[in-house]
Amino acid sequence: MENAPKHLRANPEPNAGGTYQYRRYGRWLKRAAWVLAIYLFAAWLFMGLSPAQSLSDPQAVISQLRPFMLQALILVFFILIQFVALFWFLARGNDYVIYPNEYDTSFDDVRGQPAAVESTKEVLRVFEGFKDFKQMGGYPPHGILFEGPPGTGKTLMAKAIAGASGVPFLFSTGSGFAAMFMGIGNMKVRRLFKKARVMSDKYGGSVIFIDEIDAVGSRGGVTTDRWGSSDSSADRIIMGAGMGGGGGMGVINELLVQMDGFTVPRGLWRHVRRIAFRAKPKVPFYNILVIGATNRALTLDPALVRPGRFDKKIHVGLPDYEGREDIARYYLAKVRHEPIDYKKLSRMTVGYSPAMIKNIVNESLLLALQDGRDALRWDDLWQAKLIEEIGLKEPVKYPEVERISVATHESAHAVASYTLERAERQIQVITIQKREGTLGLVHGQPVEEFHGTTQKQIIARIQVFLAGLVAEEIWFGNVSNGATSDLANATSIAAAYVGLHGMGKSVLSVAPMVNPLEDSVAAVVLKDRDRRAEVNALLSDCKEKVRNVLLKKRHVVEGVRDALLEREELIGDEIEILMAELGEREPIEVPVTGNGDRAAGFAPEGNGQAGDGNGQTPRRPDAPPRP
C-alpha cells in the first residue's frame, strides 16, 4: 500500500479528506456556473435583458422563457426521433427467422456428399446435446464453415440443418450487412446476434446462417494466405472481396466480437440480486451455432476462421462417381423418364456439381416437352449436357470452302485425340455447327477421374491442340486464324511444362515469381529468353510429331471430314461406330430399336426405371430401410 494513492491508503493524511471534498464541490460549482451562463444567455437572446435584470427577478424571466423552452424541447425531441427512426430503419437488417417444423428439407436431400453430411451431423448432435457435452468438460462448437466450389450443396446443407435442428434458424446474407453509413453494419450484426440470444433462451438454442460470408468476412484490399509454415516466398495473394475501407473492417470486428467475445449478464434482475441479495451475477450461456458458406474461403480474415469461432471447416467439393450416380437417381426419380443408364450418366458427368446435374435433368425435361413427350429419355439428357457445356446451336450457313476447311480442322483434332488420348479421354461430340463463339469444336471428357497429369499426357494434349493448324497446312497449304486459340492453349501448356512442372531442362519453378493479380505462368516463363527458346522447340517438336500422325491417319481424317460435311455433327456412339468403320477400333454392336431400325449413335443401354410422376425419391445408400 506504500505506492497507493492517498485517498486509498488505510491511514490517509489529515488534510486528505478536505482536499477530496474541495475537488468535489469545485465540480458542482462549475456545473452551476454553466447553468447560470446558459440562463443569462437565453434571457439576453430571447428577451433582451441584461445580466443584472435577469438576476433581479428570475421567476418572471423563467415564466417568460417557458414558451421558448417548450418549443426548443419539441424541436430537439423531433430531431432525436428522426435520427432514432432513421437508424432503426437502416439497422433492421434482412435476416429471416425459420421456426422449427417450418422447413421440410432433410439430410436425405443432400446427395453426393457423404463425408460432409456425416461431419455436419456430428456437429449437430453435439449442438443438440450441449448440456451433456459441457458436463463432460467439452466446449460446444461455435460455428461451421462450408466452403467449396459453386453449386456443390453448401446452402442445401444449411437448409437441411434448418429442417433437422429443431430450433429457430436465422438466415442472413453477407451483402445484407452493407450500409450507406458507417456503423449501420455493426448495428445489424448486433441485432442479429441479440435476436439469436433471445431465441436461444426461449427454445434452448438457435442457428445463424450467413450465406456468402466472404462479402462481409474478408479484409478489404489484398489478403495474403501462406502455403507453408514459415516460407514467406510461398504466399498466395488474393484480392479481398470485403466491404472495403474502415466500414467493412468495423463489421468484421463486430462479427468477431459477437462470435467469441465477452458475454455479459443483462437485465434488471441481475442488479436486484446483486444489491438486495448480495448474490454473485451469473454469466449466461447461449447455445448459438453460426454457419457460414463461401466459395472463397482463402479471402476470409484469419481471425474469423480460427478455432473458437468457426471450429469446423467442412469442404463441400465436387461429387465422385458414386455421388454423381446417387444425385442422378435422386433428381430423375422426381420426373417421368424412360429407362436410363445411371452409371453411364455418371461417367459422362465427370466434374459436374449437383446443381449442374439437376440443371441438365430439368433442361432435358424441357426438351422432352418441346418434342411433345411426357417423359424424358436418354437423348434428351445428352442434348441438355451439350447445351450446358458448349451452348446452343446457332443456325449459321458457311460458304462451302469454309465448311470444308472447318470440317478438316476439327477432324484433325478428333483423330489426334482419338489416337493419342484414347486411354484417358473420350470424344463426345465433333461438330461444325456454330455454338456460341466457335465455328466448330471437338468436345471430350476424361474416361476416369484423374487427379494428376503425366508428362506423356501433357505432350499429347499439346499435339492435339496443334493438329488443326497442321491439318490446314497439309490439306490446303495455308493456315487460317481459326487456329489462334489452339496455338495460345498449346503455348500456355508448353510454358507450364517447362517452367512450372519441372519437366523441361531446368527444375526451377516460376511459381514463387508469379503474381496472380498481374502475371500468368506463361507470361513469366516467356520473359526468360532461354525458356522461351525451349518452349518454341517443344512446340515445334510436337508439331512435327502430330504431322506424322495425321499423314499416317490421312484416310481417317478424310473419313471424319466427309461424315461431318454430311451430318454436321457426330455425337457419342456415332463417333465410335465411324471409327470402327474406318478401322481405328474393333467393330462394335449397333443398338437396335424395337421396330428393327438401327438406333441413333447416342441411344443408351437403359437399365433405369421409369418415374411414375409421384415425386417419390430414392433412399440414400447409407440410409436405413423405410418402414
Q: Is the pLDDT of residue 585 over 80?
A: no
Distance between CA atoms of residues 430 and 29, nearest Å: 94
**pLDDT category of residue 316 using cuts at 50, 70 and 90:** very high
148: left (phi over 0), alpha (psi -120 to 50) or beta: left
Q: Which helix (H) or strand (E) holds 15?
A: none
Dig out the grid coordinates for 22 from the structure.
474541495
Distance between CA atoms of residues 526 and 497, nearest Å: 12
Which percentage of the chain shows pLDDT scores above 90? 28
Dig out the grid coordinates for 354 from the structure.
449437383
- How confident is the model at residue 416, as a pLDDT? 94
Q: Is the pLDDT of residue 52 over 60?
A: yes
Of the candidates 570, 261, 549, 550, which has an alpha carbon nearest to the alpha carbon of residue 441?
570
Spatial CB neighbours of 467, under 8 Å, sequence gap ≥ 6: 412, 413, 415, 416, 417, 546, 549, 550
Q: Which of these is catalytic: 147, 212, 325, 410?
A: 410
The DSSP annotation for 419-442 comes to: HHSTTTEEEEEEE-SEETTBS-EE
Distance between CA atoms of residues 259 and 309, nearest Å: 6
pLDDT digits (tens, 9 = 90+) for 499-531: 888 888 888 888 888 876 667 888 888 888 999
What are phi and psi for residue 288, nearest 5 degrees?
-120, 130
**pLDDT category of residue 597 using cuts at 50, 70 and 90:** very low
What is the average per-residue pLDDT within 71-89? 80
Residue ranges, comma separated, of all CATH 1.10.8.60 domains in the chain are 319-377+604-627
- Asked if 154 and 316 touch (Cβ cutoff 8 Å), the reply is yes
Q: Is 568 known to be catalytic?
A: no
pLDDT digits (tens, 9 = 90+) for 445-484: 887 777 788 899 999 999 999 999 999 999 998 888 888 8
- Asked if 229 and 315 touch (Cβ cutoff 8 Å), the reply is no
Packing angle of the helix pair 455-476, 400-420 (nearest 10 deg):
150
What is the average per-residue pLDDT within 486-494? 93
- How confident is the model at residue 438, as a pLDDT? 80
- How confident is the model at residue 244, as a pLDDT? 41
Q: Which helix (H) or strand (E) holds 289?
A: strand 288-294
How far apart are the two ends of the chain, measured CA to CA in Å? 77
Classified by CATH at the fold level, domain 96-224+234-315 comes out as Rossmann fold (3.40.50)
Dig out the grid coordinates for 202 from the structure.
426461449
**pLDDT category of residue 177 using cuts at 50, 70 and 90:** confident
Q: Is the pLDDT of residue 345 over 60?
A: yes
With H, G, I as helix, E, B as strand and everything else as coil, classify residue 611.
coil
Classified by CATH at the fold level, domain 389-581 comes out as Methane Monooxygenase Hydroxylase; Chain G, domain 1 (1.20.58)
Burial 214-249 (b: 16+ CB within 10 A, else e): bbbbbbbeebeeeeeeeeeeeeeebebbbbeeebbb
- How confident is the model at residue 327, as a pLDDT? 94
Evaluate whether the domain defined by 319-377+604-627 bears CATH number 3.40.50.1220: no
What is the average per-residue pLDDT within 219-244? 39
pLDDT digits (tens, 9 = 90+) for 392-429: 877 778 788 888 999 999 999 999 999 998 888 888 88
Residue ranges, comma separated, of all CATH 1.20.58.760 domains in the chain are 389-581
Provide the H-helix boundaries in 214-348: 214-217, 245-260, 269-276, 321-332, 342-347
Residue ranges, comma separated, of all CATH 3.40.50.300 domains in the chain are 96-224+234-315
Q: Which residue has the higher pLDDT, 532 or 273?
A: 532
Q: Is the pLDDT of residue 614 over 80?
A: no
